[in-house]
Amino acid sequence: MTVKIVIGLDGTDTGERALTFAKDLASRIDACELLVIYVIEWSPFTFQTAEENAKRHVRREEEIELATKRIVEPAVAALKEAGYSASGLVRHGDVAETLNKLTVENGGSQIIVGRASSDGFSKRIFGSSTQNLVMHADVPVTVVG
């Protein structure tokens, strides 16, 4: 049976470390697929101007394209080159919630993410996406430091 491991990237060095760890893990499993996911932080409950709304669809497409080209595609290409079976996804949403949901939907058995790199006020109040993921995920989560 194929094991599917999800790697959550955030475009920083910690994501790279998560990738390295996932590769190491995958090399120990016979049939393993790697799914690279990048979640663009977004909430449906924010306030925007009318002009921003009118251009939102275009911006969304640009954001997805940028994340796909800059982060997900290079990661997937590197994994494939190294001989792994890999695919990628880009979605908008709450990072922890979306990563967990996509993992469950795609039959992922565990999630690997880098340690939270964000700092500051909002993190103190709401916790980081990594903390939220660890607390609420439906599958085991490995946080790579």
By CB under 8 A, name the binding residues for another protein.
Answer: 40, 42, 44-51, 53-58, 60-61, 63-64, 91-93, 98, 101
Q: How buried is residue 11: exposed, middle or buried, by Cβ count under 10 Å (0-12/13-18/19+)?
A: middle
Closer to another protein by Cβ: residue 47 or 121: 47
Strands (E), the chain: 3-9, 32-41, 85-93, 110-114, 141-144
Nearest 5°: phi and psi at 112?
Answer: -120, 125
Which position has the token pair 């939270």?
116
What's the closest the beta carbon of residue 101 comes to another protein, in angstroms? Answer: 8
What is the three-class DSSP state of 19? helix
What's the closest the beta carbon of residue 98 comes to another protein, in angstroms? Answer: 7
What's the closest the beta carbon of residue 20 comes to another protein, in angstroms? Answer: 29
Closer to another protein by Cβ: residue 1 or 50: 50
Closer to another protein by Cβ: residue 60 or 115: 60
